[in-house]
Amino acid sequence: MRISKAALLVVIALTVPILVELRTVLAWVNVELTVLESAVLGMTMILAILIWALWPQNGRGDPSRSG
Amino acid sequence: MSNVYIDQFPAEAKVIRAAFYSSFLALALGGVFGIIQTLHRTDFLRFMDSVDYYTVLTAHGVFLVISFTIFFLVGIFTWAVTTSLDRGLEDIRFTWGWYSLMAIGITMTGVAILAGFTDAIDMSASVLFTFYAPLQAHPLFYLGLVLFVVGTWVAGVDWFRSWWAWKAENPDERIPLPTFMVLTTMLMWYIATLGVAAAILLFLLPWSLGLIETVNPLLTRTLFWFFGHPVVYFWLMPAYMMWYVMLPKFSGGKLFSDPLARVVFVLFLILSVPTGIHHQYLDPGIAEGFKFIAMTNTMFLLLPSLLTAFTVVASMEHGARQRGGEGYFGWLKALPWRDPVFTGMALAGLMFAAAGFSGMINAGMNINYLVHNTFWVVGHFHLTVGTAVALTFMAVTYWFLPQVTGKALWSRSVALGQVVVWFVGMTFMSNAMHRAGLLGVPRRTAEPQYEGFEFQAAVGSIGELDAQIALGGVLLTISLGMFFANVVGTALNGRSDDLPANEYAGALSGPDDAPLVLDNLKLWTAIAVVLVIFAYTFPLLSIIDRGGLFGPEVIPFPLTVESATTLGFALETAASTSFESAGEIATSALTAVMR
């Protein structure tokens, strides 16, 4: 893992404010997402974060010094 | 003897425990009323009459922003003074005295509010946290508040006594930072509460007892906000104290600058009070010039918050680099995210940044008109007191509770989940509240969806915003459940010998680097008083000059549906009689002219 499980939890939590604000921001450029589309986008973002976090970094295991 | 707080100061630990448990009881009650009103207002679950919404809202506000926050902060202030001065309080009976005053006071206020749910007792206090006239509460409500506030005053005397005793023994020492923070906060509180004391003792209580016929609503309202804005800092300054003296420790490092922390608390002491009129931008009867002065003072208040953001983040970065963190942003990975105390405080601080931005909009006189009395404001204070303060207090509970009970925390994993769920829940709820406010959705009403009128949402719909608020409310309630599971689980645990020592963060730049004048509390208090005199003398004189000290005659509320109907009927009858008379006069005049 690239980051600790706890840090991963926090990163996933941080996607929530980004997602809810992104919906408003996109509306300014005439991209209006429905709730379902927003949810799908959120899931995609979380999936991408999970893949990034779980993918081994240069073959190393868990980060030893992260919290 | 171990270095845990309960072993160092067993008598004080008991008082802090009592204050914490009182605080948690208030949090539980306030939380229950919170979810009830959320589901009612958003129309997802309604099991009470909308008339009772105001009693629920009063209970939610008073239990959370008065009893939960203040009971908790007197606990951590007692810890801060005793730990940093390394001495017990002067007389523990005196300490139990102020705790009892606060407990009795809030019980009286609580009884007056909760009695509003039943017709069996002729008592109610559905006046909301702001208790504006002409809303009138039972005298017990005001008396309870008076006792509660007097309790906090006496608590301040207790902490000052400790400092004076310590100073006599250490005349050349600088005031330790945590004690400095407690003393400056209390000086601010003494000045701020003069407003609410005057409002209650001179006007609202005598009015409620029937000793005076009327009050001047604008005067009592202005006196409330004299106290009502600085009370926000009374909640926030203990949270700031935790960010300054605890967060660097949990990050693994030291506070970046002790002198900067002192500057911040001095700025809060002198700037917190002369700003209250910014809550009254839309009140008629206060000249625009006075409002402009209040806005200027408020904008200056951003300075200590921005200094805090810099100092706290710098301290966290220092801690992370001590733990091996590297790179421009890579150090963030080295922070102790597994520790719920750290993570909770960090997330609280992050949300406070968002609250600062919405606060600037509230403070701006012209742009405030757009959001005044809308749901936006509710979203704002759920980020400040509802997250920056409440989440910080819940997070540090996971460190303090073991310190004052001697028992290990029940579950760190549940604690970590709890702070994260709170963050997510509040994100959903406050975001939707802010957006609803921009559409003009009003606050303080059970029925925001007026018939025959549609709010036009720029993005999504009102229904979606309601769903987001309800989802947020449910997540916050789940988070509270997790918090209480941990509190109860910890209380039921056995005594542990494996607890961390009672200590707070050192500083990279210590007190010796701070100019001596920063510790001159008399000077800063005098400046604070002068600024208050400048900001409030002329507005108050003007309000009294226009509306009288006791105001014009007002109709006491609560105004019941029956009395409203009667009043409406009386007005209708009077109007039709007048029209008939006017018609008769006009007819006779016309007839006379035609002749």
The full set of domains in chain B, from first to last, is 13-560+569-594 (1.20.210.10)
Specify whether B229 is catalytic: yes
- Distance, in angstroms, between A25 CA and closest chain B CA? 10
Return the H-helix or E-strand segment holding B184: helix B177-198
Query: B407 forms bridges with which residues in the sheet?
Result: B495
In eight-state DSSP terms, residue B256 is E
Are A3 and A37 in contact by the 8 Å Cβ rule? The answer is: no
- The residue type of B158 is D
pLDDT of residue B250: 96
What ipTM, to 2 d.p.? Answer: 0.89
CA–CA gap between residue B98 and residue B89 (Å, rounded) = 13
Query: A57 forms bridges with which residues in the sheet?
Result: A60
Query: B509 forms bridges with which residues in the sheet?
Result: B257
Query: DSSP letter string over B54-112?
Result: HHHHHHHHIIIIIIIHHHHHHHHHHHHHHHHHTS--S-HHHHHHHHHHHHHHHHHHHHH
CA–CA gap between residue B141 and residue B202 (Å, rounded) = 15
Residue A24 has pLDDT above 60, yes or no: yes
Tell me chain B's radius of gyration from C-alpha atoms.
26
Would you state the structure tokens that stand for residue B262, as one six-digit string?
Answer: 């002192």
- For residue B357, give the nearest of B342, B376, B332, B329 by alpha carbon: B376
CA–CA gap between residue B546 and residue B549 (Å, rounded) = 9
CA–CA gap between residue B466 and residue B448 (Å, rounded) = 11
Taking an 8 Å cut-off on Cβ atoms, the answer to whether B427 and A67 are in contact is no
Cα B32 from chain centre: 18
Are B391 and B422 in contact by the 8 Å Cβ rule? The answer is: yes
A-B Cβ pairs (cutoff 8 Å, strict): 63
Are B79 and B399 in contact by the 8 Å Cβ rule? The answer is: no
pLDDT of residue A64: 46
Taking an 8 Å cut-off on Cβ atoms, the answer to whether A67 and B335 are in contact is yes
**Ranges assigned E (strand) in B414-467:** none
What integer is the mean pLDDT of B263-273? Answer: 97
Query: What count of other Cβ atoms lies within 10 Å of the Cβ of residue B369?
Result: 10
CA angle in degrees (0–180, nearest 5) for B490-B98-B386: 55
- Kindly report, residue by residue over B153-191, the tens digit of the pLDDT: 999 999 999 999 999 999 999 999 999 999 999 999 999
pLDDT of residue B552: 72
pLDDT of residue A23: 87
Answer positive or negative: Cα dihedral of B42, B43, B44, B49: positive
State how far the alpha carbon of B583 is from the alpha carbons of B28, B303, B572, B577, in Å.
62, 65, 16, 10
Residue A63 has pLDDT above 90, yes or no: no
What's the distance, Cα to Cα, between the start and end of chain A in Å? Answer: 13
For chain B, what percent of residues have pLDDT higher than 70?
93
Higher-pLDDT residue of B125, B557? B125
Would you state the structure tokens that stand for residue B89, as one six-digit string?
Answer: 């309080």
**A1-5, A58-62, B72-76, B203-207: which range is least confident on average?**
A58-62
Helix, strand or coil, per DSSP, at residue B407: strand
What integer is the mean pLDDT of B239-261? Answer: 96
Nearest by CB to residue B427, choosing from A10, A20, A23, is A20
A42 touches chain B (CB under 8 A): no
Chain B residues with CB-CB distance to A67 below 8 A: 323, 334-339, 342
Return the H-helix or E-strand segment holding B508: strand B507-509
pLDDT of residue B573: 59
Which of residues 320 through 379 in chain B touch A, CB cutoff 8 A?
323-325, 333-339, 342-343, 347, 354
Query: DSSP letter string over B230-255?
Result: HHHHHHHHHHHHHHHHTHHHHHTS-E
CA–CA gap between residue B357 and residue B112 (Å, rounded) = 37
- Kindly report, residue by residue over B498-554, the tens digit of the pLDDT: 999 999 999 999 999 999 999 999 999 999 999 999 999 999 999 999 999 998 755
Residue B35: partners with Cβ closer than 8 Å, 6 or more residues away: B473, B474, B476, B477
Mean pLDDT of chain B: 93
Are B125 and B116 in contact by the 8 Å Cβ rule? The answer is: yes
CA–CA gap between residue B346 and residue A16 (Å, rounded) = 16
- Kindly report, residue by residue over B276-322, the tens digit of the pLDDT: 999 999 999 899 999 999 999 999 999 999 999 999 999 999 999 99
B390, B396, B402, B408: CA torsion to nearest 10: 100
Higher-pLDDT residue of A51, B571? A51
Chain A residues with CB-CB distance to B337 below 8 A: 4, 6-7, 9-10, 66-67
Residue A61 has pLDDT above 80, yes or no: no
pLDDT of residue B590: 53
Specify whether B381 is catalytic: yes
A17 touches chain B (CB under 8 A): yes
- Of the CA atoms within 13 Å of residue B340, those in its CB half-sphere come to 27
Taking an 8 Å cut-off on Cβ atoms, the answer to whether B334 and A67 are in contact is yes
Would you state the structure tokens that stand for residue B191, as one six-digit string?
Answer: 């000045």
pLDDT of residue B423: 98
CA–CA gap between residue B309 and residue B438 (Å, rounded) = 27
Query: A60 forms bridges with which residues in the sheet?
Result: A57
Alpha helices per DSSP H over B324-384: 340-363, 365-371, 375-383
What integer is the mean pLDDT of B466-482? Answer: 97
Tell me chain A's radius of gyration from C-alpha atoms.
15
pLDDT of residue B412: 97
CA–CA gap between residue B403 and residue B411 (Å, rounded) = 15
- Kindly report, residue by residue over B85-132, the tens digit of the pLDDT: 999 999 999 999 999 999 999 999 999 999 999 999 999 999 999 999
Chain A residues with CB-CB distance to B343 below 8 A: 6, 10
B533, B534, B535, B537: CA torsion to nearest 10: 60
State how far the alpha carbon of B98 is from the alpha carbons of B20, B101, B571, in Å.
14, 5, 51
Are B307 and B263 in contact by the 8 Å Cβ rule? The answer is: yes
pLDDT of residue B12: 98
Nearest by CB to residue B334, choosing from A17, A32, A65, is A65
B579 touches chain A (CB under 8 A): no
Taking an 8 Å cut-off on Cβ atoms, the answer to whether B464 and A35 are in contact is yes
Taking an 8 Å cut-off on Cβ atoms, the answer to whether B336 and A20 are in contact is no
Query: What count of other Cβ atoms lies within 10 Å of the Cβ of residue B495?
Result: 10
